[in-house]
Amino acid sequence: MRLVLALALLASCAPATEGDAPLPAGPYAVVLGTAQDGGLPQLGCRAACCERARVEPSAARAVASILVVDPEAGQRWLLDATPDLPSQVERARAHQDPRDGNQVEGRPPLFDGILLTHAHMGHCLGLLHLGREAYGARGQRVVCTPTMARILREEAPWSLLVDAGHIELVEVEPGASLDLSPRVRAEALPVPHRGEFSDTVGWRITTPAGALLHLPDIDKWERWEQDLREVVAGVDLAFLDATFFDGGELPGRDMAEVPHPFVVETLQRTRSWLPEERAKVHLIHLNHSNPLHDPASPATEQLWASGLRLARQGAVLGLGTDSGRP
């Protein structure tokens, strides 16, 4: 499988890819947000990282979320329901919106499925917008693990979403997979991550054209039972946890309390990879403090030099086939 960058090479500094370029004919991904759960700017932060994003809206970032689109089937799936769901639904509007043309009455599901990774706020809070105080969806399918489903079914305020039929839960055990359609399959990869409420999974989505991995939250790579290189080898696009650039990012706070792979560790781990392997990696879920939010930072320069990529909000990324090859 070969990765095709659909609209613009991420290596360029071109603006987001919404625009005049045609959308891919085959399955593709849209980056709807790239920030850690708190977004950018983050509540209460008076440092330059967030003050800049308040002054320049183009520097702001929604919370990490990916849209998977199968244009041939007219279907789409949302990976994680973030607190920024309302703006992300609008950002997703050009991509197989089931309400196209206003031909659908009422409040139909916004997506063919919403897949959740875990119970932290950046990954599920958006579901509340589907309740009667806001959109009032009818039967939005939500795919998650049994521990996550239990929270949604039994705990307030989520339980009302289920009881009133706004969402319909589809459970997938960690390690198991589910056919989202006859053409698209989702596999829940269990990952280690702070689990106060639920377990955590990454989603591997396989389409007729190629596959992607959405892995926004994980503890250190060495705590994962899977080998990162092998997992990335099996996909065309890998959206990986890049919460913190390095260990000096949260002055006064013990960073062991919030373990994530530092970007410098990911750079080290991927150094021996082939260039085409590194080019699959798109870093996502950046804390507001992460210097990769600043295109002029030395950290950004270091990343570009490495061959890894930064997921860019608004980017449309095709999943390539081996067309033309035997």
59 belongs to the binding site for Zn ion (CB under 5 A): no
Piece of the chain touching Zn ion by CB under 5 A; list 37-45, 164-172, 195-203, 312-320: 37-45
For residues 325 and 319, give the distance between their C-alpha atoms in angstroms, rounded to a whole number: 16
Least distance (Å) between residue 63 CB and Zn ion: 8
Least distance (Å) between residue 223 CB and Zn ion: 16
- List Cα–Cα distances, 262 to 44, 117, 205, in angstroms: 24, 20, 25
- List Cα–Cα distances, 209 to 185, 204, 230, 322, in angstroms: 12, 14, 19, 8
Piece of the chain touching Zn ion by CB under 5 A; list 44-52, 155-163, 252-260, 307-315: 44-52
Piece of the chain touching Zn ion by CB under 5 A; list 16-24, 105-113, 119-127, 310-318: 119-127
45 belongs to the binding site for Zn ion (CB under 5 A): yes
- For residue 207, with 0-12 CB atoms within 10 Å meaning exposed, 13-18 middle and 19 or more buried, which class applies? buried
Q: Which is nearer to Zn ion, 28 or 239 (CB)?
A: 239
H helices of 3-102, where? 48-55, 85-91
Q: Which of 33, 37, 284, 309 binds Zn ion (CB under 5 A)?
A: 37
Strand partners, 114: 78, 142
For residues 169 and 179, give the distance between their C-alpha atoms in angstroms, rounded to a whole number: 15
Piece of the chain touching Zn ion by CB under 5 A; list 157-165, 245-253, 280-288, 306-314: 280-288
Q: Which is nearer to Zn ion, 37 or 112 (CB)?
A: 37
Identify the CA nearest to 194 among candidates 251, 260, 250, 238: 260
318 belongs to the binding site for Zn ion (CB under 5 A): no
Q: Which is nearer to Zn ion, 45 or 299 (CB)?
A: 45
For residues 1 and 292, give the distance between their C-alpha atoms in angstroms, rounded to a whole number: 29
Q: How many residues bind Zn ion (CB under 5 A)?
A: 9
Task: Give me the DSSP letters along 227-238.
Answer: -HHHHHHT-SEE
Q: Which of 49, 161, 211, 263 binds Zn ion (CB under 5 A)?
A: 49
Find the binding residues for Zn ion in span 215-274 (CB under 5 A): 217
List contacts with Zn ion (CB under 5 A). Answer: 37, 45, 47, 49-50, 120, 122, 217, 288
